């Protein structure tokens, strides 16, 4: 367990990543709810250095900026899980990601944007990070966020 | 069981709430499907006195009106579950809510809108109502509804 | 098993349907991930004869065209499951469909569009195809697709 742990921790470090501080829900919901080995992760927004990345792909944000925002949202999914589980080693398999992209009506690269999230998850977790996924373009996201990512994750008992 | 039942029923009453009549699906899908203790609730729209609340947040509907619509959609989620389960006491835990808000492109208060749903669920169910959540803004909803809420819920055997 | 198999296969044939070739994900995610008897199917787009159906309901696509696109997306969900499971007989129950409709801001027939998906699934699978469902209208979908459908499906062991 501690070997695996240090291997994920090392991978995070070697990727030049750092798990961000989690942003606790401000209302009567929870960041993660677990039931019989399946954890539901609330929609996570893209934060960098404590600042939320806002904007709309195809309007005032480029594909690359949106892909980076998807990556940061996915990093927040991992930070949230780490906070809830105590260790990312307890992830047995990422089952599903939903990637919502704040999109102009003619921006059609949601799949490429979502790859930013998918690749980050796989880079950090390896094969257990391989997931099913839906990516859609939406009119607007909370606080004007550029991307929102939620997840369903199989976890092993503590 | 009957004690708990009357406690939820009492809470609904003391909150001045009444479970609305359920709106059965008009097509070949079902309001709820349950599998091994997990119930999937179809997207529910906001009804009040038999009338659907339509409109768009940030355009012709205010934040408060949208939050109230989220509350009514969540109430319909509960009514639908009550109809399916026979009693809300069979809810073991609300796992995940998805809140879709019919939103103008510059309306960014989807989280506050969704709080209307989250708070209602917690007020009625107590701690078992605490859930993970995603809230997004969408271009339009069925029949022009202001909000749509679906849910994944852990339930105990009959 | 083989009887049931031939019955689903026959039904597909008698409906004049053919399972399309699956479109493998081009990135680091998977078409289907299964965990303890529940399969998560990635969002599927509407393909016909190798061509993606693009457009926006209520703008340059009619209700009927969008409903047909939902039907084709659902057919792709089945093809993807068939590819993953080896046989559609391993489907125990379709639990939930999410139907995202690329919609003009004043197009409100997402439920009728989604019926194209729901009816196809039920026609092919019979009672095990009866599912919970959410249908929403979104600003835009990957590659400009008219409809996207994902699914959560209970499956029996091989």
* pLDDT, tens digit (0-9, with 9 covering 90-100), for A80-96: 999 999 999 999 999 99
Angstrom distance (rounded) from CA B19 to CA B5 = 14
Q: Cβ separation of C138 and A139 shorter than 8 Å?
A: yes
- Which of C26, C140, C146, C152 is the best residue to mutate to test the A interface, defined by the most A CB atoms within 10 Å of its own CB? C140
Q: How far, in Å, CA of B116 to CA of B147, rounded?
A: 11
Q: How many CB pairs under 8 A join B and C?
A: 92
Distance CA C38, CA C40 (A): 7
Q: Distances in Å between the alpha carbon of A147 and those of A140, B92, B142, C12, C55?
A: 9, 32, 24, 39, 23
Which residue among A37, A104, A131 sits closest to C30, beta carbon to beta carbon? A131
Higher pLDDT: A24 or A43? It is: A43
Question: Quick check: helix, strand or coil at residue B109?
Answer: coil
Supply angle C-alpha B92, B95, B100, rounded to 5. 135
Q: Which of C68, A136, A105, C137 is nearest to B144 (CA)?
A: C137
Whole-angstrom distance, CA of residue C37 vs CA of residue C152: 10
Could you count the other beta carbons within 10 Å of the beta carbon of residue A151? 30
Looking at residue B157, what is its pLDDT?
A: 82
Q: Give the residue carrying structure tokens 């355009």.
A: B59
**In chain C, which stretches have pLDDT less than 70?**
1-6, 27
Neighbours of B63 (CB within 10 A): 15
Give Cα A79 to chain centroid, integer Å.
Answer: 9
Residue A156 pLDDT > 90: yes
What pLDDT is attached to residue C6?
A: 63
Phi and psi at residue C90, in whole multiples of 5°? -80, -5
Query: Going by C-beta distance under 8 Å and a sequence separation of 6 or more, which residues neighbour residue C119?
Result: B27, B28, C71
Percent of chain A with pLDDT over 90: 82
Residue A1 pLDDT > 80, yes or no?
A: no
Tell which residue, A70, A72, A88, has the closest CA to residue A32.
Answer: A88
Chain B residue with minimal CA distance to A80?
Answer: B132
Per-residue pLDDT of chain B (158 residues; tens, 9 = 90+): 444 556 888 889 999 898 999 988 876 899 999 999 999 999 999 999 999 999 999 999 999 999 999 999 999 999 999 999 999 999 999 999 999 999 999 999 999 999 999 999 999 999 999 999 999 999 999 999 999 999 999 999 87
**Residues forming beta bridges with residue C134, ordered by sequence position:** C98
The per-residue pLDDT for B3 is: 47
What pLDDT is attached to residue C3? 47
Residue B6: predicted pLDDT: 63
Chain A residues whose C-beta sits inside 8 Å of any chain C C-beta: 37-38, 92-97, 103-111, 114-115, 118-119, 121-122, 130-139, 152, 154
Q: State residue B5's pLDDT score.
A: 53
Mean pLDDT in residue range A67-85: 97
Does B111 contact A140 at a Cβ distance shorter than 8 Å? no
Q: What is the pLDDT of residue C84?
A: 96
C36 CB-contact burial (10 Å; exposed 0-12 / middle 13-18 / buried 19+): middle
Q: Which residues are CB-neighbours of C125 under 8 A, at least 6 positions away?
A: C8, C78, C88, C91, C94
Q: What is the pLDDT of residue C2?
A: 46
Give partners of C (≥3 CB pairs < 8 A): A, B
Specify the DSSP class assigned to residue C82.
H
Write down the pLDDT at residue A25.
86
Out of B33, B139, B150, the one facing C131 most closely (by C-beta) is B33
Packed helices B63-85 and B110-125: angle between N→C axes, nearest 10 degrees: 40
Query: Are B131 and A25 contacting, i.e. CB atoms less than 8 angstroms apart?
Result: no
CA distance A16 to chain B (A): 29
Interface residue of B112, B115, B132 to substitute, partner A, most A CBs within 10 Å:
B132
CB C158: neighbour CB atoms within 10 A? 7
Residue C151: per-residue pLDDT: 98
What pLDDT is recorded for position C150? 98
Q: What is the pLDDT of residue A3?
A: 47
CB B64 within 8 A of CB B109: no
A16: exposed, middle or buried (Cβ count in 10 Å: 0-12, 13-18, 19+): exposed
């Amino acid at each position: 367990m501690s070997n695996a742990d240090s291997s994920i921790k090392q991978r995070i470090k070697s990727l030049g990543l750092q798990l961000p501080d989690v942003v606790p829900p401000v209302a009567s919901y929870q960041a993660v709810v677990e039931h019989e080995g399946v954890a539901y992760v609330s929609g996570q927004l893209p934060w960098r250095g404590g600042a939320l990345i806002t904007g709309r792909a195809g309007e005032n944000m480029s594909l690359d900026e949106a892909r980076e925002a998807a990556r940061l949202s996915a990093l927040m999914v991992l930070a949230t899980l780490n906070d809830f589980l105590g260790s990312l080693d307890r992830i047995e398999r990422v089952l599903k990601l939903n990637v919502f992209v704040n999109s102009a009506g003619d921006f059609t690269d949601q799949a490429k944007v979502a790859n930013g999230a998918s690749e980050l998850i796989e880079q950090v977790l390896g094969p257990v990070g391989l997931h099913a996924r839906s990516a859609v373009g939406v009119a607007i996201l909370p606080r004007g966020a550029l991307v929102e990512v939620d997840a369903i994750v199989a976890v092993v008992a503590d």
